[in-house]
Amino acid sequence: MTAFVEHSPFDPKKAVTFDLPNGQVRLASGADDSHRETDNGRAVIVPAAALGVLAAAAGETASRELGRSIGRSLGARVHARLDVRGGSLDAVVTELATELALVGLGTLSVERWGRALIVCVSDSPLGGATGDALLAAALEGMLSSASGRELRTTPLAREGAQLRVLVGNVASIERVIGWLAEGVSWGDAITRLHAPREEAVS
């Protein structure tokens, strides 16, 4: 029997602080402000379309770096409130979805396909390949910062407003990216991912 670690529930009252006299907007870093970043949680409200234009102009690699940076800050706040590795799936997903929704990047959910972990983001303001790459990079940074594990993510498929992002190690993500480039559907890619390594290579 696994014991779940209790966590401090998210308090939306002080999640965002608007310091209008000082022209500052701050994001709460967690239950306590021990993990407050060097910028003291200051945030900038940027239009989603402008962010998309930036990501498209910067390219995929720059967009991914931007996304990881955004995700780390979100994951850090989750880590401040919750033991992600010891927490239940529901609790962790709830905290992650809260942080992602707080910054306006969409609604987060998690799917399990076999042993594969897939994070679904719906209603994200970012679109396109660069936008999906940015969003997947944000999730990567968030999960990595929250769990403390080095991981990789890659967009599997977009179905309307819902984007499925696969979470795995570097090798697995590289293989899936290759299968997807070969025209393999994301379902078959996940199936192959569960197959033995030799069969998957062949």
Partner 1 sequence: MSRLESAREQIAKLESLLARIQRRVAEPRAPRTMVKMSEARLVPADPTPPFTPVLNHPVESELVAHAVVTAPPHVEPVLEPVLEAAAEPMLEAAPPMIEEPVESISGEFAVAEAPMELEELGPASEYDSLPVVEVQLVEHAQEPVASLTPAVEDGRPDLDIVGERAHMEHVGEELALPQEHEEHEEHEEEEREQPPESGRELVASPYESQRVAVATPSAPEELSLELHEHVEPPPESSKNLRVAPAVPETSAVVPFEERLEPELPPKLQAPMVETPDLGFDEERTMEVQLDRGVHPVEAAPEPHEVEAGPVSEPVEIDRSEHVVEPAAEPHLVDATRVVEAEPAPVVQAAAPVEIPSADVIRPQILAADVAAYLTAARAPRPETFGVLLDAALDL
Q: Does 194 bind partner 1 (CB under 8 A)?
A: yes
Q: How far is the CB of 156 from partner 1 (least distance, A)?
A: 13
Give the DSSP letter of residue 174.
H
Q: Does 129 bind partner 1 (CB under 8 A)?
A: no
Judged by CB under 8 A, the chain residues 30 through 89 that form the site for partner 1 are 84-89
**Four-residue CA torsion sign, 24, 30, 36, 37:** negative
Q: Using CB under 8 A, which of 66, 97, 116, 189 touches partner 1?
A: 116
Question: What does the alpha-carbon distance between residue 143 and residue 83 come to, in Å, rounded to a whole number?
Answer: 12
For residue 106, give the nearest of 28, 160, 169 by alpha carbon: 160
- Please provide residue 111's backbone torsions phi and psi, each rounded to the nearest 5 degrees: -125, 150
Total binding residues for partner 1 by CB under 8 A?
A: 26
Question: What does the alpha-carbon distance between residue 125 and residue 49 come to, in Å, rounded to a whole number?
Answer: 8
| Span near partner 1 by CB under 8 A; candidates 15-23, 32-40, 44-52, 166-174 | 166-174
Q: Does 105 bind partner 1 (CB under 8 A)?
A: no
Which is closer to partner 1, CB of 1 or CB of 50? 1
Q: Using CB under 8 A, which of 40, 69, 169, 185 touches partner 1?
A: 169
Question: What does the alpha-carbon distance between residue 175 and residue 115 come to, in Å, rounded to a whole number?
Answer: 16
Which is closer to partner 1, CB of 66 or CB of 167? 167
Q: Does 167 bind partner 1 (CB under 8 A)?
A: yes
Question: What does the alpha-carbon distance between residue 95 and residue 74 come to, in Å, rounded to a whole number?
Answer: 10
Question: What does the alpha-carbon distance between residue 99 and residue 105 come to, in Å, rounded to a whole number?
Answer: 9
Question: What does the alpha-carbon distance between residue 168 and residue 176 come to, in Å, rounded to a whole number?
Answer: 10
Which is closer to partner 1, CB of 14 or CB of 149? 149
Which is closer to partner 1, CB of 66 or CB of 193? 193
- Interacting residue ranges for partner 1, rule: CB under 8 A: 1-2, 4, 84-89, 91-93, 112, 115-117, 143, 147, 149, 151, 167-169, 172, 193-194
